[in-house]
C-alpha cells in the first residue's frame, strides 16, 4: 500500500506485530496529471490509469527494486536488467509504487510491448520518457511541484487558522468554530460526547448510515476507554470520517465528515481541536473556564494585569518550554497531550515547527530551586519523549520574564541531556542589591557585547565553561563558541579565567 501523504489524517494504530511504515514526506502528494502537463519534459502516459499521486522520485536499474521502495514513488528506469516485465510490474505494484517512467534509448529503442501490457493489466501508470529528457529533469520538476503544493497548503492553513481564531472570539465561540471548520473542510463538523450524543454541529447533514458510522468512530477515541488513541479515521460510502479526542473536557470528541480529503486538513483540524479544548467551558471546571477566558482576552491584546483575576493572581504561575527529545516537531495534538499530562490546556504548539512548545500552568511547589536537572520541580515531573525547561513561580504580570527564564532552562536541559531543568528567582547575596541598581550596573558592564555574544557568554558560564556542551546548547560549532567567548573577553577587557570576573559577569547577565 502507498504511504499516506503528509497532511492527511492518521489511521487507527496497526495491530500488534504489524510492521510500521516510515512517515510520508513533509509535502502534499503531487497528481500525476500535473507532471504530465509540463510540456518541456515530453512525458507521455501510454498505459495504466490516469489517476495517481506521487510522493517521491526514485531511479533504479535493479532487476527487482522492491526492497528499496517506500511506496508512492515515480520509479524511473531505462530497463537495463528488464527480463520479465510481468514479474517486474507485479513487484512494483506490491511495493506501492505510484507510476513507472521508462526512458527509451540507449537500452531500448521503444517501450517494450510486454511492459505496456503488464502495466495495463496490473493498473500501474506507465510513462514514456523521451531520449532528450534526463531523469534529473523529471526529479527537479517533481520537487518544484511539491514546493508549490506545500506553499499552497501553508497559505490555506494560515487562512484557516485566522478564520478559526476569529470565530473563537465570537460570543458563541464553539458553534462558530464548528461552523468555520465545516466551511474550511467542505463537510460536517460535530462535537459529541463519549456516548455519541451531539452537543453542537455545523455543515451539511449526513445520511443516517454515515452518521452512525461517524458515531461509531467517535467511541474509538473517547477518553472513557483506557488506551484510546487521540485520533482515528475511516471511510463510509466515499465520505472521509475522522474523530479527535479533546483535551480539557469530559470525554468530548470532535468528529468530521468530508467528501474529499485535502492536504492540510489534519493541521486545520488540529487547530480546531486546541481551540475547542479551551472553549468547551460548560464541560470544564470553573477554574479552567476562567483561565481559558483569560487566555482569549490576552490573545486579543488585553493587559496581563487586567486578566490576572481570571487566572488567579493570588497564586504564582510557571512557564514551561518543551521540545521533543528526538528533535521532531510537535503538532497541536502532540502538544495538547503534553498539556493534558501536566494538567493544563494553556498550550502554544509553536505552529508545528522547530519552536519549543510553551505551556502555562499554576506554579506549585517550593520556591528557589537552582537551575539544574531535577527529578521533580514544583509538581512538574519529566515527561517521556520530552525535554522540559521550567521557570520559577512568578506572578501573572511577569510572565514575559518567566518565558525567557523557561527558554534558558530548556537550553540548559538540552545541553546537559537532562529531561528537566528549572530556573529560579534571584536569591542569596544577589537579592540584596536593589533591582534598579543591578540592572543599571548590568547594562553598563555588558554594553560592549552584542546580543549573540551575550547569549553565548551566558550559556558558557551556566555550563561552567564547557565548550562542547555550550556548542550543543546553542547549535553551533565549538570553535565558534571559543571565538565568541574570546571576543567577549577582549571587548570587556576581562580575564574570563578569573573566578571573580566570571561571578560578576554571571550576576550582570542574570540581572541585565
Report the pLDDT value the prediction gives residue 427, as an integer from 0 to 100: 57
Whether the per-residue pLDDT at 73 is higher than 90: the answer is yes
d(CA 385, CA 359): 16
For residue 415, which of 457, 382, 459 has the smallest C-alpha distance? 459
Share of the chain above pLDDT 70, in %: 76
For residue 371, what pLDDT is reported? 38
Tell me what percent of the chain is helix, strand and coil, each rounded to the nearest 5: 45, 15, 40
Q: What is the pLDDT of residue 286?
A: 42
- One DSSP character per residue, 230-273 reads SEEEEEETTEEEEEEEPTTSSS-EEEEEESS--TTHHHHHHHHH
Per-residue confidence (pLDDT) for residue 4, from 0 to 100:
37
Q: How many CA atoms lie within 13 A of 161 on its CB side?
A: 15
Most confident of 121-135, 428-442, 445-459, 468-482: 121-135
Least confident span in 173-182, 282-291, 396-405, 479-488: 282-291
- Rounded to 5 degrees, φ, ψ at 417 are 55, 40
pLDDT above 60 (res 17): no
Q: What is the DSSP string of 468-507?
A: HHHHHHHTS-HHHHHHHHHHHHHHHT--TT-HHHHHHHHH
Give the integer Cα–Cα distance in Å for 252 and 191. Answer: 7
Residue bearing the bigger pLDDT, 431 or 135: 135
Mean pLDDT of 65-80: 92
3-state secondary structure of 59: strand
CA-CA-CA-CA torsion sign (21, 25, 31, 35): negative
CA 203 to chain centre: 28
**Is the pLDDT score of 440 beyond 80?**
no
* Higher pLDDT pick, 25 / 173: 173
Residues 43-78 as b/e (b if ≥16 CB within 10 A, e otherwise) read bebbbbeeebbbbbbbbbeeeebbeebbbbbbbbbb
CB 146 within 8 Å of CB 30:
yes
For the cut 50, the answer to whether the pLDDT of residue 242 exceeds it is yes
**What are the tens digits of pLDDT across the range 356-375?**
888 888 655 433 343 333 43
Q: Look at residue 52 and tell me whether its pLDDT is greater than 80.
A: yes
Is pLDDT larger for residue 432 or for residue 261? Answer: 261
The pLDDT of residue 300 is: 62
Residue 227 clears pLDDT 80, i.e. is over it: no
Whether the pLDDT of residue 12 is over 60: the answer is no
* Whether residue 355 has pLDDT greater than 50: yes
**What's residue 157's pLDDT?**
86
Residue 86 — very low, low, confident or very high, per pLDDT cuts 50/70/90? very high
Across residues 305-324, what is the average pLDDT? 71
Q: Would you state the pLDDT for residue 476?
A: 86
Is the confidence at residue 419, as pLDDT, over 80?
yes
**C-alpha span between 6 and 56 (Å, rounded):** 12
Q: What is the 3-state secondary structure (H, E, C) of 168-233?
A: HCCCCHHHHHHHHHHHHHCEEEEEECCCCCEEEEEECCCCHHHHHHHHHHHHHHCCCCCCCCCEEE
pLDDT > 80? residue 22:
no
Evaluate if pTM is beyond 0.75.
no
Contact of 338 with 359, CB cutoff 8 Å: yes
Which one is predicted more confidently, 350 or 355? 355
pLDDT of 501 strictly over 60 = yes
Residue 396 has pLDDT above 80, yes or no: no
Q: Is the pLDDT confidence value at 51 over 70?
A: yes
Share of the chain above pLDDT 90, in %: 21
- pLDDT surpassing 60 at residue 464: yes
Model pLDDT for residues 119-164, shown as the tens digit of each residue:
999 999 999 999 999 999 999 999 999 888 888 888 888 888 888 8
Per-residue pLDDT tens digits for 203-223: 888 888 888 888 888 878 875
Facing residues of 460 across strands?
none
Q: What is the pLDDT of residue 417?
A: 77
Instruction: Give the bridge partners for 29, in sequence order.
Output: none
Mean pLDDT of the chain: 78
Q: Is the pLDDT of residue 332 over 80?
A: no
Nearest to 233 by CA among 213, 206, 250: 213
Quickly count helices (H) and strands (E) in the chain. 16, 18
1 band by pLDDT with thresholds 50, 70 and 90: very low
Most confident of 167-171, 240-244, 421-425: 240-244
- Going by pLDDT thresholds of 50, 70 and 90, the confidence category of residue 324 is confident
pLDDT at 488 over 50: yes
User: How many Å apart are CA 255 and CA 405, to the nearest integer?
Assistant: 39
Region of poorest pLDDT, from 190-194, 338-342, 491-495: 338-342
The predicted model gives 480-497 an average pLDDT of: 88
Please check the confidence at residue 43 and state whether its pLDDT lies above 90: yes
| Structure-model confidence comparison of residues 336 and 122, the more confident one | 122
* 422 contacts: CB under 8 Å, gap ≥ 6: 369, 370, 371, 372, 374, 377, 378, 380, 389, 390, 391, 392, 409
| Per-residue confidence (pLDDT) for residue 38, from 0 to 100 | 93
CA pair distance 356, 498, nearest whole angstrom: 35
The dihedral region occupied by 71, where left means phi > 0, alpha psi between -120 and 50, and beta the remainder, is left
What pLDDT was estimated at residue 82?
92
Q: Mean pLDDT across the stretch 77-82? A: 92
Per-residue pLDDT at 76:
95
pLDDT of residue 296: 60
Tell me what pLDDT residue 373 has.
Answer: 38
Amino acid at each position: 500500500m502507498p504511504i499516506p501523504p503528509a497532511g492527511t489524517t492518521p489511521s487507527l494504530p496497526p495491530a500488534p506485530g504489524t510492521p510500521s511504515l516510515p512517515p510520508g514526506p513533509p509535502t502534499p502528494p503531487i497528481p500525476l496529471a500535473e507532471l504530465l502537463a509540463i510540456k518541456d519534459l515530453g512525458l507521455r502516459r501510454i498505459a495504466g490509469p490516469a489517476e495517481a499521486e506521487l510522493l517521491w522520485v526514485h531511479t533504479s536499474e535493479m532487476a527487482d527494486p522492491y526492497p528499496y521502495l517506500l511506496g508512492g514513488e515515480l520509479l524511473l528506469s531505462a530497463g537495463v536488467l528488464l527480463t520479465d516485465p510481468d514479474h517486474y510490474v507485479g513487484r512494483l505494484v506490491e511495493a506501492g509504487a505510484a507510476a513507472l517512467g521508462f526512458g527509451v534509448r540507449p537500452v531500448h529503442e521503444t517501450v517494450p510491448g510486454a511492459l505496456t501490457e503488464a502495466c495495463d493489466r496490473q493498473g500501474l501508470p506507465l510513462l514514456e520518457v523521451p531520449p532528450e529528457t534526463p531523469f534529473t529533469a523529471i526529479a527537479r520538476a517533481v520537487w518544484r511541484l511539491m514546493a508549490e503544493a506545500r506553499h499552497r497548503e501553508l497559505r490555506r492553513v494560515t487562512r484557516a487558522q485566522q478564520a478559526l481564531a476569529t470565530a473563537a472570539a465570537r460570543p458563541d465561540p464553539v458553534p462558530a468554530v464548528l461552523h468555520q471548520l465545516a466551511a474550511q473542510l467542505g463537510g460536517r463538523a460535530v462535537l459529541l460526547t463519549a456516548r455519541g450524543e451531539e452537543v453542537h454541529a455545523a455543515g451539511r447533514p449526513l445520511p443516517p448510515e454515515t452518521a452512525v458510522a461517524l458515531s461509531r468512530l467517535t467511541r474509538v477515541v473517547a477518553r472513557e476507554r483506557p488506551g484510546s488513541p487521540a485520533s482515528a479515521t475511516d471511510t463510509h460510502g466515499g465520505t472521509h470520517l475522522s474523530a479527535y479526542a479533546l483535551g480539557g473536557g469530559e470525554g468530548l470528541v470532535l468528529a468530521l465528515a468530508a467528501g474529499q480529503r485535502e492536504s492540510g486538513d489534519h493541521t486545520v483540524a488540529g487547530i480546531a481541536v486546541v481551540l475547542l479544548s479551551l472553549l468547551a467551558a460548560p464541560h470544564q471546571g470553573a477554574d479552567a473556564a476562567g483561565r481559558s477566558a483569560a487566555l482569549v482576552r490576552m490573545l486579543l491584546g488585553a493587559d496581563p494585569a487586567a486578566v490576572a483575576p481570571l487566572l488567579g493572581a493570588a497564586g504564582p504561575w510557571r512557564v514551561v518550554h518543551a521540545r521533543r527529545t528526538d528533535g521532531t516537531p510537535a503538532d497541536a495534538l502532540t502538544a495538547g497531550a503534553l498539556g493534558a499530562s501536566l494538567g493544563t490546556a494553556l498550550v502554544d504548539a509553536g505552529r508545528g515547527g522547530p519552536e519549543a512548545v510553551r505551556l502555562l500552568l499554576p506554579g506549585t511547589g517550593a520556591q528557589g530551586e537552582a537551575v539544574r536537572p531535577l527529578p521533580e520541580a514544583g509538581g512538574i515531573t519529566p515527561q517521556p519523549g520530552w525535554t522540559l525547561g521550567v521557570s520559577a513561580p512568578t506572578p501573572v504580570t511577569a510572565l514575559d520574564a518567566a518565558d525567557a527564564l523557561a527558554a534558558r532552562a530548556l537550553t540548559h536541559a538540552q545541553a546537559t541531556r537532562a529531561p528537566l531543568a528549572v530556573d529560579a528567582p534571584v536569591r542569596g547575596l544577589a537579592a540584596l542589591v536593589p533591582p534598579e541598581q543591578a540592572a543599571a550596573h548590568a547594562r553598563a558592564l555588558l554594553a560592549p557585547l552584542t546580543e549573540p555574544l551575550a547569549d553565548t557568554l551566558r550559556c558558557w558560564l551556566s555550563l561552567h565553561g564547557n565548550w562542547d556542551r555550550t556548542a550543543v546548547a546553542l547549535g553551533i560549532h565549538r570553535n565558534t563558541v571559543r571565538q565568541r567567548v574570546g571576543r567577549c573577553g577582549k571587548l570587556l577587557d576581562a580575564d574570563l579565567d578569573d573566578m571573580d570576573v566570571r561571578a560578576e559577569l554571571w550576576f550582570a547577565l542574570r540581572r541585565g
